Structures are given as C-alpha cells and as structure tokens.
Amino acid sequence: MQPDALDELFPSHLEAIGAATAGALAACGYDALILHSGGLRAVDFDDYPYPFKAHAAFKLWAPLADNPDCFVLVQPGRRPRLLFNRPDDYWHKPSPLPDSWWTGAFDIEPVTDRAAARAAIPNPGRAAFIGDATGFGDWGFAAVNPAPLLTRLDYARARKTAYEIACLRAANRLGARAHTAAAHAFESGESEYGIALAYMASITVREQELPYNPIIALNSGGAVLHYQVLERRPPAEHRSMLIDAGATFACYGSDITRTYSRSDPDFAALVGRMDEVQLALCAGVRAGVDWRDLHLTAHRLIAELLHDSGLITLDAEAAVDTGLSSVFLPHGLGHLLGLQVHDVGGTLASREGGEIARPPGHPNLRLTRVLEEGYVVTMEPGLYFIDSLLAGAKAGSHARHIDWARVAQFAPFGGIRIEDDLAVTASGCENLTREAFRTLS
C-alpha cells in the first residue's frame, strides 16, 4: 500500500465520518465534538506509565497511535483542527509535527500542555467531549461521553470507508508476512517465545505496537482461547501450533489465526476439514445476511465434522440443539474489526441504540447485526479440546454422545481455529487475509 493511494482515499473518508458526526451532533444537540487521544496513566505508587493506547474515536480522524493529550476538534462545516501535543520535556523525545497523507486535511496547531489545549478550544459549553474523562471535569464541556452520541458514532463505525478497508488490507499484508515467519520458526523447533520474536522481527514491531498480544500456543495450549503464556523453552515435541496474531497499519489492526500440524496425519486431516468449513462459511458472507444465522450454520457444519471424524455420535442437528457443539466451540463465529480488534457496536439494533439479542445458548457471540456493504468482520470457526468443558460434558447428559477415546487422541493438539478478515460487499466479500497470503507467495 503506497501512501499516495491513501492520499486519494483519505478526503472521502473524512467527508463520510464528517457527515456521520454532523448528523449525530445535530440529533444530540451539540455544535462541536472534541476527541481526546488519551492520557498517560501512571502505575499506582510509581512514576512510570502504562503503555499508551490512543482512543479509537480519536484515531478514526487522526491516525496517531503514540501521542497522548492530542485533541481533534470537529465543528461541522469547518476544517477539522488537530491540537498536537509537543510537551517541553527533556525526559522524553517529543514527536515531530505529523506530516503524512492525512495531515493536509487538518489545521494542525502545536500545544505544549493541557492548559494550552484548553485555551485553544472555543465554546466548550456547546461541545461534547469523547475520551478518558479524568482531569476534564472543570473544562466546561456540555457533556462528557454522552451515551446517545457515542451510540450513534459507534453504530456508524461498522460501515468502513474505502480508506479504512485499504488500511485493513495493508494490516493483513503485514500480518500474513509475520504469520509466514512464525510458521517457519515453528517448523524449525522454536519455543513459543522464539516464535513470537520471529513474528515481530519480520515486520519490525514490538509487542505494544500489535493490535493485541499474540496468542502463540504449542500443543495442548491451543485449547486455551486467549492463551497468554509465551513459554521460553521449546517443548519436548512440537505437535501443533495455534497462532492468533495481527498487525497494525495506520491504527487499523488485522486479526488472523492459523493452526498447524507438525506430523500427525489425523490432526492434519482435521485441520484440513476445518479449513473447508471456514471457506464454506466465508462463501456465505454478503450484504443482507444475519450474522446470527451464519453462526448457527457454523455450529451445524462443525457438528457434522465432529460426527464424521468420530468425535461425537449425535447427528449434527441434535448436537447443535442440545448444546453439544458448544462443548467444542464455545466462542462466537466472529466480530466487527477495525480500529479496535473487537470493534464497537456489534449488537446495536439501530443508531438510536437497543440490542439485537444473541441466539439462546450462545452468550459469547459479539456480532448480531445484519451485514451491510462496508462492514469488516472476522470469520473464525474453532474446534477445541478444553479440559473444563469436556469434564462438564462427561458429568452430564452429553457423556454418552462423545467418543472419549477419540477425544483423548486429539487433546494433546489443543484445538483448531482458522480466522480471516472479510470486507463485505453487495454480492459477497473480499477475503483480505487469504488475498494477503496469496500475494506473498
């Protein structure tokens, strides 16, 4: 992705988010919006800050990940202003004023501290503020994080602009490159930690620059959905790797999972079948599809796979209806993706609010909306051998429907998840992840 293409796409991005913001401000009775990038937060009883994470609502306008105490001022009908924080600081190196594909659209004004920013904001009494409220109580804003305004802005964020999709495409290319490096590190017998280093080195990032901490699980660790340990020592045997890791481009993150079998043909066959299921589900993604239906379809397909693989004896429909499929797949099929890995507004019924209910028995589904062109979603069916869920099943009515010897055969491999990022179109979707791997090879 060349910056000049982003140059061309950014003005219409700004126009679209400007129109959505103007509509939301008018509906809620504010004249202006102040977006704060966020403040540094010190560790308790210490003078050292937590890693800085800029607010997504701010990054929607200005793709700045590393600059606390910056403000975007949005006043409909005017050019947006960026108050860019350049503290007079000899402990840290102040960032230079940004100069990139997006900066021409802003009036950029350096400020040295919050007091200078406060002085540069006209009529706070007519403006809504969005950000971390700490420290802004006496600035006189009309409202701080008002829920009706947040709901409208969150709802609109599901539909990405062409610029945002271009950023997510680029984030997938970086992710695919790093995943390929990680797969080589797995093949050469590295530890989880060694694989993580190979992942990050291949795209020259450190962990805090990734959209989320990489999940790199060897062997049975794959059964832990958000496995957070990076074992420093290689295991005695490399049976499998589940790697769920993304990369960031201009504040937009990819979210990609692959599962590898080192040498076991049965587990490799199971991974191959899951890949077919995942692709079949991707083929069902288009505008107008209710994500809840697709989630239930995924359960039926995985129940068929479990049945055909000799893991369960119930037929697929009964396995879904009785909750048996959820023993092996306890998470949702996917979620909105964008500036946040689990992007906002996944269950909102309308821009005014309200919640679209999850299907009964599926409490972890993060997306219940009907897909529209421009949504970007993850497609991440899984199949896991999770001790605690299997123990519960063994103690209950599911016990006689599970082939426990077959479960014991696969448990040392942990589980399988295959996750791609999809940009929804009117007639189907663009698979940003598969396309990124394809252009690599």
Per-position x/- string for 241-270, each x denoting binding to ligand GLY as judged by CB under 6 A, each - no binding: ---x----------x---------------
Q: Does 224 bind ligand GLY (CB under 6 A)?
A: no
300: left (phi over 0), alpha (psi -120 to 50) or beta: alpha
Q: Does 380 bind ligand GLY (CB under 6 A)?
A: yes
Q: Which residues contact 309 (CB under 8 A, 6 or more apart)?
A: 270, 273, 406
In three-state secondary structure terms, 94 is coil
Closest to Mn ion by CB, 127 or 285: 285
**Token code pair at residue 377:** 């979603």
Residue type, 155: Y
Q: Could you tell which of Mn ion, ligand GLY, none binds residue 212, using a CB distance below 5 to 8 A set by kind? A: ligand GLY
- Residues near ligand GLY (CB under 6 A), total: 6
Per-position x/- string for 348-387, each x denoting binding to Mn ion as judged by CB under 5 A, each - no binding: ------------------------------x---------
In three-state secondary structure terms, 186 is helix
- Give yes or no for a contact between 172 and 436, defined as CB atoms under 8 angstroms apart: yes
Closest to ligand GLY by CB, 307 or 366: 366
Q: Does 69 bind ligand GLY (CB under 6 A)?
A: no
CB of 417 to ligand GLY, least distance (A): 8
Buried b (16+ CB within 10 A) or exposed e, 153-180: bbbbbbbbbbbbbbbbbbbbbbbbbbbb
Q: Does 420 bind Mn ion (CB under 5 A)?
A: no
CB of 424 to ligand GLY, least distance (A): 18
Q: In 264-351, which ranges are E strands?
A: 348-350
In the set 192, 255, 420, 421, which binds Mn ion (CB under 5 A)?
255
In the set 154, 190, 192, 244, which binds Mn ion (CB under 5 A)?
244
Q: Which residues contact 354 (CB under 8 A, 6 or more apart)?
A: 348
Question: Hey, how many other C-beta atoms are within 10 angstroms of the C-beta on 109?
Answer: 15
Q: Does 421 bind ligand GLY (CB under 6 A)?
A: no
CB of 244 to ligand GLY, least distance (A): 5
Closest to ligand GLY by CB, 219 or 254: 254
Closest to ligand GLY by CB, 28 or 339: 339
Question: Hey, how many other C-beta atoms are within 10 angstroms of the C-beta on 55?
Answer: 17
d(CA 129, CA 125): 10
In the set 94, 212, 266, 435, which binds ligand GLY (CB under 6 A)?
212
- Give yes or no for a contact between 286 and 317, defined as CB atoms under 8 angstroms apart: no
Q: Give residues in contact with ligand GLY (CB under 6 A).
A: 212, 244, 255, 341, 380, 419
Give residues in contact with Mn ion (CB under 5 A). 244, 255, 257, 378, 419
